[in-house]
Chain A
Amino acid sequence: MKNRAWSQFCENRWAVAGLIILGIIHAAALFADFLAPYSFSNEERTYSYAPPSKIHFRDEQGSLVPPFVYGAEIKFDEYRRRIYQDKADEKYPLSFFVQGDKYKILGLVPTTIHLFGVKEPGRIYLWGADSRGRDLFSRLLHGARISLSIGILGVAISFSIGLLVGGIAGYYGGKTDDIIMRICEMFMMFPGFYLLLALRAVVPPNFNSIQVYLAIVVILSFIGWASLARVIRGMCLSLREREFVLAAKTMGLSDLRIIIRHILPHTLSYSLIAVMLSIPGYILAESSLSLIGLGIQDPYASWGNLLAEAMGIVQIKFAPWILLPGFFIFITVMCFNVVGDALRDVLDPKTSQ
């Protein structure tokens, strides 16, 4: 049965494409330190808003040489805006597995090797630089880490709560169920974003970055669990009537064990769909918070606070590449939705007929 669902899923080209893109993006985030030529905070202020570096494969004579970039000559126009021009006599060959900023592979093994880069004082800006001359490509990769992990972590926490609370409400029914459901409704009543702001306001201002990160995860989970709990509770109400639940009780299993081991696994396909369809919400919520400056703080990067740079029309006009984080948010959210929808078509008996 699982195999049939999988092959059915594979027939949906969009969903497969979405899954592959998500795979690439997540892998890139995982190995961000290695793939990115610079750390997230490596800045070179003279290169403010430097445009994407052109990688040349031919020298002036037109003959094929190993790829290189030119050094930049910076001039100012009459509005004191920077104009970047190639310096013909300064060439920096693009090399692979080069020494660079220190980091730890997957947070464990310390190393300085990066996939690619150029020798100092040359700089390579694959996708341009931000206002402080930091490489946008590197920051996008590091930002992906934060934005994507907030989504996954948030969903993991709120789904654990939602499954457990929904399971308890549905399994016991009666008064327990009534009380839990009223609480859920209270949470669902508030418009999400305002609740988010209100909760964010409660977080002490002197938190450091990691604490803020965790606070955001907790806040997002806090908001997300209620709607899931409601649905799971409905499923458990009917599941508890099944005979294997009665059999489990006659065996003397504890209620919690019956809920977790015997009842909740039957909600797996629904939960899987719900996970896929809710992750975008978490990513967007983090982005919105960071965009308005209440989320991840500079110098740490998240897609939301990277996009915050693109709030002025002047910047967008002269450095359009700073819109890229928005593009990545869009792509990721779309992919999760496409994959989630496809899963629903395959797994949910109600829609598949």
Chain B
Amino acid sequence: MQIKNLAVSVNSKKIVDDVSLTVEERSIFALVGGSGSGKSTTGLAVLRLLAPGLEIKSGEAIFGGRDLLKIGAEELRQVRGKEIAMVFQEPLYAFNPVLTVGQQIEEVFTAHTDFLGEKRLEETLRLLDIVGIKDPLRVHKSYPHQLSGGMRQRAMIAQAVALKPRLIIADEPTSSLDVTLQARVMELFLKLRDEFDLSVLLITHDLGVVQHMADHVAVMNNGKIVESGSSGEVLKNPKHQYTRELLSYVS
């Protein structure tokens, strides 16, 4: 996927300004930056899911040969969940509290396939197994609040990869987890990348994670990309003052 010159503004104030980046196939692209720098906004803009009031001023999001910012509503719906999926920071809020986790994973199949109930269940259990959940059947029947944070995040990831999307946009997928779990979930992303041949746009402010996982990195500050390149280079050899600042928090 390729984002070109994306600009988003709210009340004519630009919160994403001239952002361009390319997520290559089967690669992990990290978008880092401090709080309020416009990372989430960039991720949501690609799927045209910005909150009312936020407006895409210009730019393109080329994916599979078409511009996601221009296609019709139904075509866009087909892309969402099927070709590009999203993982959120806090699965407790991203799951609907009144439906079971299983019901919600199955909804992806309902929306995009004509699988019957039995097939949906089977697929869902298989997915839960793939993401490393020990007793898929119990998790399937549980409500979100009945699961631990780690299991919820795994379930959310299972939902995201359900239809083998080309790209997953993961918005701080580990920030709500404790340190040991963070590493496991990150490993899961690597495993899924290899298994499903997908690419990941990883939004994070954790440069440690970037170091281990990402192929490319872009650093954002105040809505602008201030530095980008392969992650080894950028982290070893930061050119921009802001990147150095960020790095100084890690070490």
Contacts and interface: CB of A to CB of B under 8 A. Distances in A.
A248 interface: yes
A252 B77 contact: yes
Contacts of B112: 252
Interface string B90-134: 100111111100000001101110000000000000000000000
Given A173-B52, A243-B88, A243-B90, A251 B95 contact: no
B78 interface: yes
A252 B108 CA distance: 7
A45 interface: no
Interface in A91-149: none
A170 to B, nearest CB: 13
Contacts, number: 63
B93 A250 contact: no
B94 A249 contact: no
A4 interface: no
Contacts of A81: none
Interface residues of A, number: 19
Given A250-B85, A250-B86, A252-B81, A244 B94 contact: yes
A254 interface: yes
B93 A244 contact: yes
The B contact surface, by secondary structure, is: mixed
B151 interface: no
Interface residues of B, number: 27
Nearest to A250: B86
Nearest to A268: B98
B79 interface: yes
A87 interface: no
Interface stretch (A16-24, A258-266, A311-319): A258-266
Given A243-B90, A261-B99, A266-B98, A251 B47 contact: no
Interface in B55-97: 77-82, 85-86, 88, 90, 93-97
B250 interface: no
Nearest to B83: A252
A247 interface: yes
Interface of B: 44, 47, 49, 52, 77-82, 85-86, 88, 90, 93-99, 107-108, 110-112, 159
Closest 4 CB pairs of A and B: A252-B81, A252-B80, A251-B81, A250-B86
